[in-house]
Chain A
Amino acid sequence: MPELTFREALRQALREEMLRDERVFLMGEDIGAYGGSYAVTRGLLEEFGEKRVKDTPIAEAAIVGLATGAAMGGLKPVAELMTINFSLLAADQIINHLAKIYYMFGGQFTAPAVIRTAAGWGQLGATHSQFLEVIYSHVPGLKVVMPSTPYDAKGLLKAAIRDPDPVLFIEHTLLYGIRGEVPDEEYLVPIGLADVKRPGRDVTIVAYARMVHVAMNAARELEAEGVDCEIVDLRTLRPLDIETVVESVKKTNHVVIVEEDWKSFGVGAEVAARIAEQAFDYLDAPVVRVGMLEVPMPYNRNLERHVVPDEADVLAAVRSVVGSRV
Chain B
Amino acid sequence: MIEQTVLSRELLLGFYRQMVLIRRFEDKAAEMYTLGKIGGFLHLYNGEEAVAVGAISVLRPEDHIFTHYRDHGHALARGMDPRRVMAELFGKTTGVSRGRGGSMHMADPALRFWGGYAIVGGHIPLACGMALAIQYRGADEVVLCIFGDGATNIGEFHEGLNLAALWKLPVIFLCENNFYGMGTHVRRAASTPEIYRRAEVYGIRSEQVDGMDLLAVREVMSRAMDYVRAGHGPYFIEALTYRFRGHSMADPELYRSREEVEEWRRQRDPITRFSGYIIQNGYATAEELAAIEQEVEAEVEEAVRFADESPEPPLESVTEYVYVNPGPARRVAHA
Contact = CB atoms under 8 A, between A and B. Distances in A.
A302 interface: no
A75 B117 CA distance: 21
Given A75-B133, A93-B122, A107 B159 contact: no
Contact of B133 (A65, A70, A163): A70
Contacts of A127: none
A92 B119 CA distance: 8
A103 interface: yes
B107 A105 contact: yes
Contacts, number: 157
B97 A106 contact: yes
B134 A73 contact: yes
Given A93-B122, A102-B322, A66 B101 contact: no
A64 B327 CA distance: 23
A108 interface: yes
A91 B130 CA distance: 20
Given A65-B129, A105-B107, A106-B97, A243 B162 contact: no
Interface in A60-99: 61-62, 64-75, 77, 92-93, 96-97
A141 B322 contact: yes
Given A69-B128, A74-B133, A92-B122, A59 B109 contact: no
Given A97-B126, A241-B328, 20 more contacts: A62-B128, A68-B125, A69-B66, A70-B133, A72-B126, A73-B132, A97-B122, A102-B322, A104-B100, A105-B101, A106-B95, A106-B97, A106-B99, A107-B321, A108-B109, A110-B324, A143-B323, A164-B324, A192-B328, A239-B323
A239 B156 CA distance: 29
B125 A73 contact: no
B332 to A, nearest CB: 9
Interface of B: 66, 95-101, 105, 107-109, 114-115, 117, 119, 122-134, 136-137, 155-156, 159-160, 162-163, 166, 320-328, 330-331, 334
A64 B127 CA distance: 12
A105 to B, nearest CB: 4
Contact of A66 (B66, B163, B325, B327): B163
A298 B203 CA distance: 43
Nearest to A62: B159
A239 B327 contact: yes
B115 A59 contact: no
B125 A93 contact: yes
Interface of A: 25, 51, 56-57, 59, 61-62, 64-75, 77, 92-93, 96-97, 101-110, 112, 140-141, 143, 163-165, 190-193, 239, 241-243
Nearest to A191: B327
A74 B136 CA distance: 10
B200 to A, nearest CB: 19
Contact of B163 (A56, A104, A140, A165): A56
A77 B132 CA distance: 11
Contacts of A65: 122, 124-126, 128-129, 156, 159-160
Given A97-B117, A105-B105, A106-B95, A68 B126 contact: yes
Q: Output the residue of B100, B126, B321, B324 with the most chain A CB within 10 A.
A: B126
B129 A106 contact: no
Contacts of B326: 239
Given A105-B101, A106-B97, A108-B97, A59 B163 contact: yes
22 contacts: A62-B160, A62-B162, A65-B124, A66-B126, A68-B126, A68-B129, A69-B127, A72-B130, A75-B133, A92-B119, A97-B126, A102-B324, A103-B321, A103-B322, A104-B100, A105-B97, A105-B115, A106-B100, A106-B101, A192-B328, A192-B331, A243-B331
- Among B99, B109, B125, B324, the most chain A Cβ lie within 10 Å of the Cβ of B125
Contacts of A241: 327-328, 331
Nearest to A239: B327
B323 A96 contact: no
A102 B134 CA distance: 21
A57 B119 contact: no
Contact of A109 (B109, B162, B166): B109
Nearest to A66: B129
Contacts of A92: 119, 122, 156
A263 B115 CA distance: 38
Nearest to B118: A96
Contact of A73 (B105, B107, B133): B133
B309 to A, nearest CB: 19
A193 B101 CA distance: 31
Contacts of B155: 61
Contacts of A67: 129
B113 to A, nearest CB: 10
Contacts of B134: 73
A62 B328 contact: no
A25 B129 CA distance: 13
